[in-house]
Structure 1
Amino acid sequence: MPLSFPQGPAPYDAEPGPAGPSPLPPALARAFSAQVPGPPVPPGPRANPWHRAGADPVAVPERERALLDGLWLSRGHHRLADGTATRVPRRPVPSAGAAYPVHTHLVVGADGPLEAGRYAFDMEKGVLLRRDAARERDAGWDAPGSGTAVRGTHLVLTVQPGRSFGRYRHRAWPLWIADTAYALAAVEFLCAPGPAAVHLGPGPWLRELLGVPRACEHGRWLARGLAPEIALAAVELPGTWSVPADRRDALAARRSPAIGEFEAAERNRDPRSARAAKESGQAWVLGAHRLKTWSVAVGTPAAALAPALWRAHRQAAGLCYAGALSQRWRCRPVSGFTAARGRWTVHALAMLPGAHHLDKESAA
């Protein structure tokens, strides 16, 4: 039974958008270009060392532990095409190039499951740390929005931009949204009933909620021993919720099919697949049994591009997780497209039928 695809940004075979220069700032518009990213640079720590800023470990309630582990609990390591194990942990939520720039925070009000305050989750160690409000005030980080000023619990998703930039350079900024969108969709997938509200950023409201300075104020972060983070999304958790076991297990078992599986599959003769392979520089896409793409006109202004990026990646993630739950489709996200014919493919999903193979892994 084929998947039902929701409406989103223009399909790949839509009429080309208007020609002409991009209205985006040049630094952002470079993500559209065919320019190859430069050599890798140090990406920064896998987890921000909040303990250096005075945060202390706390016990995690069972329900919150189920959600945090459902998102990030490592079950082994990614493997190379020849089966060699890497040092990169394999996590339920995919990440472009296994960079894992997304970090998870909790902001808890007076009526929440934990003591009121702000918390950072270290997914490398599986530890939740409560930030020290007094030390934050001394560092000039205090902002309205914590403690009794907040009701309930907000889960905030940030990106540590260096994680993606270290590998993808000028193509990194769309991937910050992409990886956050996949994590956000995973929260929505795991949490039943779904979130009471979702807020997308970046912006001052999210920074105030999390009580952090702008990421571009590097000195304020580095002075506390931290790498800058950008707050990109917040989920207001409902008053009563749980993590269904079937969804938790489906996400834990989810795997992006190895590139070798696509290469071994019969070539797709759909011309859209050929264009996607060419514009992404990834010939293995031709082996996909199904290919779903999302694109925007090159001339799309920034105010419209950001919502399109969020919408495309949230929809793609929803299809990816639904395929894992039904065991009908295995999905591998595809990024890194260059603009062509007046349009830019912001994201794609390459799919193979069947259940996930736990012994076949990839770095996505």
Structure 2
Amino acid sequence: MLTDGRESTIRRRPVPSAGAAYPVHTHLLVGADDQTGLEGGRYVVDTATGRLFRRPGTARGADGGSQIVFTVAPGRTFARYRHRAWPLWIADTAYAVAAVEFLLGTAVRLHVGPSRELRDSLAVPLASNTRWWLDRGLAPEIPLAAVELPAGWRIRTERARVLSVRRSAALPEFQRNRSTCPAASSLATLSRQEWVSGADRVLTWTVTLGEPDALLEHLWRVHRDAASTLYRSCLTGRWWCRPVSGIPARGDVWTVHALAMLRARSERNGS
């Protein structure tokens, strides 16, 4: 969608992405006990067509069951955000992980990277080995998360429908709204995104920069929690949510992510 709510030429995606960069790619490792009926091995989803393509090799790391592995194409976000890109790769991947949990209606066992284990599961080298990628006509990818699909998993039909339609208000909806929320005004100033001041409600997540060893774990926790909150709000239909990322750090406490929330039209009209 464009900012005024009209259809754009960009293919719709079920999860949000910072700056509409959409760097997340989806790979599937099919194990011997998988219930999809697919032959065991490695597959990748072509996001442009929604088709599943088989890749060479066996699916190491997916013995028995199956896994979804999410990677990021770092150049897509880096081109826009430069040094601020790395937490946004985690944010976008965390939203994808939370979408899987939402569709399954259950928590999943998660392995996060970057790590050699995740690269080995897809049989790919470091993203910095650009020659390997370019020789195969590919853009470098960084595997960031592997989701183990539980035995007997199934997609919740109603939840899939919720993710198939527009779930956030267009920016002009926020800009036209007469908000009385002081926190929204403060967050608009902090994030340097004026549209946020029109939110009826904001939720924020922070991390402490004085704990560098725990920073990566905190970033995953924050963004998974925010994503779960956003998807749960889709079920009620009461709130439209837009994620707010790229907020500059100030001092030792970093407001790393937020949700700007707008009451749905039916709620604002009192119906």
Q: Structure 2-normalised TM-score?
A: 0.91
Equivalent residue number for residue 63 of structure 1: none
Shift of 1:225: 1.1
Relative to structure 1, the CA distance from residue 108 to residue 350 in structure 2 (aligned partners, 3 Å threshold; closer, same or farther) is same
Equivalent residue number for residue 280 of structure 1: 191
CA distance, structure 1, for counterparts of residue 171 and residue 61 of structure 2: 49
CA deviation string 1:136-172 (max 9, x = no partner): xxxxxxxxx7269722111101101111112222211
Q: RMSD in angstroms over aligned alpha carbons?
A: 2.0
**Aligned partner (choices 273, 278, 292) of residue 203 of structure 2:** 292
CA distance, structure 1, for counterparts of residue 106 and residue 253 of structure 2: 37
Relative to structure 1, the CA distance from residue 321 to residue 84 in structure 2 (aligned partners, 3 Å threshold; closer, same or farther) is closer
Shift of 1:249: 1.0
Equivalent residue number for residue 257 of structure 2: 347
Q: Which amino acid aligns with 1:322?
A: R
Q: Which amino acid aligns with 2:43?
A: Y
CA distance, structure 2, for counterparts of residue 227 and residue 149 of structure 1: 24
CA deviation string 1:100-120 (max 9, x = no partner): 100100111222232111111
Q: Matched residue pairs, number?
A: 264
- Provide structure 1 residue ranges, at least 5 long, that are not aligned to the other structure: 1-77, 134-144, 357-364
Equivalent residue number for residue 77 of structure 2: 164
Shift of 1:355: 6.7
Partner SS for 2:91: helix
Equivalent residue number for residue 29 of structure 1: none
Equivalent residue number for residue 128 of structure 1: 52
CA distance, structure 2, for counterparts of residue 148 and residue 168 of structure 1: 33
Is 1:88 matched with 2:1? no
CA distance, structure 1, for counterparts of residue 105 and residue 122 of structure 2: 24
Partner SS for 1:174: helix
Relative to structure 1, the CA distance from residue 319 to residue 148 in structure 2 (aligned partners, 3 Å threshold; closer, same or farther) is closer
Question: Quick one: higher RCO (CA 8 Å, sep 6+), 1 or 2?
Answer: 1
**Aligned partner (choices 58, 63, 84) of residue 150 of structure 1:** 63
Q: Structure 1-normalised TM-score?
A: 0.68
Relative to structure 1, the CA distance from residue 222 to residue 289 in structure 2 (aligned partners, 3 Å threshold; closer, same or farther) is same
Is 1:99 matched with 2:21? yes
Is the Cα contact below 8 Å between 2:60 and 2:121 reproduced in 1?
A: no
Is the Cα contact below 8 Å between 1:335 and 1:346 reproduced in 2?
A: yes
Equivalent residue number for residue 30 of structure 2: 108
Question: Structure 2 matches for 1:1-364, cutoff 5 A?
Answer: 78-81=1-4, 85-112=7-34, 113-133=37-57, 146=59, 150-195=63-108, 197-270=109-182, 272-301=183-212, 303-354=213-264
- In percent, how many aligned pairs have the same letter? 53
Q: Which amino acid aligns with 1:204?
A: R
CA deviation string 1:320-346 (max 9, x = no partner): 111101112111000111122432211
Relative to structure 1, the CA distance from residue 174 to residue 148 in structure 2 (aligned partners, 3 Å threshold; closer, same or farther) is closer
Is the Cα contact below 8 Å between 1:193 and 1:242 reproduced in 2?
A: no
Q: Which amino acid aligns with 1:346?
A: V
Shift of 1:85: 4.1
Relative to structure 1, the CA distance from residue 116 to residue 148 in structure 2 (aligned partners, 3 Å threshold; closer, same or farther) is farther
CA distance, structure 1, for counterparts of residue 223 and residue 234 of structure 2: 16
Partner SS for 2:53: strand
Q: Which amino acid aligns with 1:187?
A: V
Q: Which amino acid aligns with 2:50?
A: G
Is the Cα contact below 8 Å between 1:79 and 1:85 reproduced in 2?
A: yes
Shift of 1:233: 0.7
Partner SS for 1:325: helix
Q: Which amino acid aligns with 1:185?
A: A
Is the Cα contact below 8 Å between 1:335 and 1:347 reproduced in 2?
A: yes
| Higher CA-based Rg | 1
Shift of 1:192: 4.2
CA distance, structure 1, for counterparts of residue 62 and residue 94 of structure 2: 27
Is the Cα contact below 8 Å between 2:181 and 2:200 reproduced in 1?
A: no
CA distance, structure 1, for counterparts of residue 106 and residue 241 of structure 2: 25
CA distance, structure 1, for counterparts of residue 225 and residue 232 of structure 2: 11
Equivalent residue number for residue 269 of structure 2: none
CA distance, structure 1, for counterparts of residue 216 and residue 224 of structure 2: 12
Partner SS for 1:227: coil
CA distance, structure 1, for counterparts of residue 62 and residue 219 of structure 2: 32
